[in-house]
Chain A
């Protein structure tokens, strides 16, 4: 009786192990699909804002990256797309937005102003790939997707 019971248990254990394996394979497959979807939807941001530091004449990335959305707000308020905790930054400091097929940088009446390539901007200006935007003590390089 014992031998029959053990054979039964072995069979059940084998079936369970096989189910476990199938479940794991299915999970891996689904993960792969989800990652694929995420990577392709991750392309949706139209570009990136890379935080850079000036060193001599060049700028080097610090490793921090923000996605560029069709309307990207920069400021100290928590509602901003890019929140910067810096007393030099106004709560609603600047906006980078896509209008009519162009990227515009606009200062939102900030106290310390917004600089584009080291020039303080007075009115909305068109920005392009590689421009350096300075808000408070932080500099962003605009990297557009093509």
Chain B
């Protein structure tokens, strides 16, 4: 009988793609060595050994996360975990180098983020629950956002800075980050329910595009509109644009109609034109995008300094700790990409883009593998298009390809809320990657 059990029962019906477990491990080890070498250099240059606290935290989070993800759920995508860990480690290293006092805080957020990811991975019936209570979740998210208008503060303490944070003492949270998850969940579950109606042109005559009927589009546009109006009110325009892009991506995937993209392009141009004349913030951003050299010392200071860091970086960079990225105001959050460009050069920039590319392409593959399950597909598409669009917006803004919009570079920029929310999204993506067929 023992010989029988050794014979495989049956060949799997579907060709399984190889799990790149070993390559993900090699990637993490390589990144770990890279981080240690650079931490050594930071210590030598600045004489501040605090960076090792961050490196130790990162190694602990990565190691424990690596073991626990496999323990908690078999068959998850290891490469997604590896890439987001590499990015967060690199970000942490840069924060310790730029602002050593902020580093410990970000290290704590890294731990919280890893816990959030593991929670998303194993919380019983998380996806079903999120689907069932979508209206309550959305209501809660909107209330939080409204609370920001009433009680919002800005931890940096500038009077003119937008007050987008909630919190007391030394712990602050940005509700608009949390709203990303809420909105993806709401849109995915609602559109999945309306999927038959969205997809069937046969139900009515060809000419009437059904998804534009108020009964279908109404709740979505209303909910999304409330969020965007509040964000515009708060002058958090980057997040508003991000939500618009998310809405378009999900509607496009759910309906499969190219007209969604055409209409969205028209709408965003119109909205941009209106915003240009209504909001002086938008006007300023567009003006310094067209020509930053009219006022390089004042209004366009940030973007001009950012372009300087790119040219100072060259191909191989100045080396960590040896550049002067601190000339760029708030380098640690929105302009982290510029700091990497100066100290790691073109090579570093391309590597960041490659890391994001691996993360996003593998996430889209997870979405594609959820064939026949609209809710799961839309959830995966929503999360990975959020990460992709957000990275494109800030990277394009920093190199002045598009007007600058203040969003964080996922996993790399300084910011607790952003890091935790990104890790939570990755946790759900990992959870979806384990369920095949």
**Interface on A for B, CB 8 Å cutoff?**
2, 5-6, 9-10, 12-14, 16-21, 23-25, 27-28, 30-31, 34-35, 37-38, 41, 53, 55, 58, 60-66, 69
Contacts and interface: CB of A to CB of B under 8 A. Distances in A.
Interface bracket on B:
35 or more
A17 B374 contact: no
A9 B319 CA distance: 9
B270 interface: no
B291 interface: no
**Pairs A-B, 10 closest by C-beta atoms:** A65-B372, A60-B200, A24-B354, A63-B195, A10-B319, A16-B34, A63-B374, A9-B41, A41-B15, A21-B351
Interface string B335-359: 0000000001001101100110110
B336 to A, nearest CB: 16
B44 to A, nearest CB: 6
Contacts of B317: 14
A55 B197 CA distance: 11
Contact of B354 (A9, A16, A25, A37): A25
B320 A13 contact: yes
B351 A20 contact: yes
10 contacts: A10-B322, A16-B37, A24-B27, A28-B358, A34-B17, A58-B202, A60-B199, A61-B199, A62-B196, A64-B373
B203 interface: yes
B38 interface: yes
B361 interface: yes
B354 A21 contact: yes
B196 A17 contact: no
Question: Would you call the interface of chain A mostly helix, strand, loop, or mixed?
Answer: helix
Contacts of B38: 9, 13
B344 A17 contact: yes
Contacts of B350: 21
Contact of B347 (A21, A30, A41, A66): A21
B129 interface: no
B351 A53 contact: no
A20 to B, nearest CB: 6
A23 B23 contact: yes
B196 A61 contact: yes
Interface of B: 13, 15, 17-18, 20, 23, 26-27, 30-31, 33-34, 37-38, 40-41, 44-45, 79, 86, 192, 195-197, 199-200, 202-203, 316-317, 319-320, 322, 344, 347-348, 350-351, 354-355, 357-358, 361-362, 365, 371-374
Name, among B17, B45, B196, the residue most crowded by chain A CB atoms within 10 Å (CB to CB): B196
Contacts of A19: 30
Given A10-B322, A60-B197, A61-B196, 10 more contacts: A9-B40, A10-B41, A16-B37, A19-B30, A24-B355, A24-B358, A27-B23, A28-B361, A31-B362, A63-B372
Contacts of A63: 192, 195-196, 199, 372-374
Contacts of B23: 23, 27
Nearest to A19: B30
B240 to A, nearest CB: 30
Given A17-B351, A24-B354, A53-B196, A31 B361 contact: yes
Contact of A34 (B18, B44, B322, B374): B18
A37 B15 contact: yes
B196 A13 contact: no
Given A20-B27, A60-B202, A6 B348 contact: no
A8 to B, nearest CB: 10
Nearest to A12: B37
Given A24-B358, A28-B361, A16 B202 contact: no
A27 B34 contact: no
A9 B44 CA distance: 10
A20 B350 CA distance: 11
Contact of A16 (B15, B30, B361): B30
Nearest to A37: B15
Contacts of B357: 24, 28
Contacts of A38: 15, 17
Given A24-B355, A61-B196, A13 B319 contact: yes
A77 to B, nearest CB: 17
B372 A27 contact: no
B34 A66 contact: no
A144 to B, nearest CB: 17
B31 to A, nearest CB: 6
B33 A16 contact: yes
Residue among A12, A24, A34, A58 having the largest count of chain B Cβ atoms under 10 Å: A24
A6 B322 CA distance: 10
Contact of B44 (A2, A24, A62): A2
Contacts of A35: 17, 365
Contacts of A69: 13
B278 to A, nearest CB: 40
A60 B196 contact: yes
Contacts of A13: 34, 37-38, 41, 319-320
B31 A20 contact: yes
A20 B35 CA distance: 12
A6 B199 contact: no
A66 B371 CA distance: 9
Contacts of B31: 20
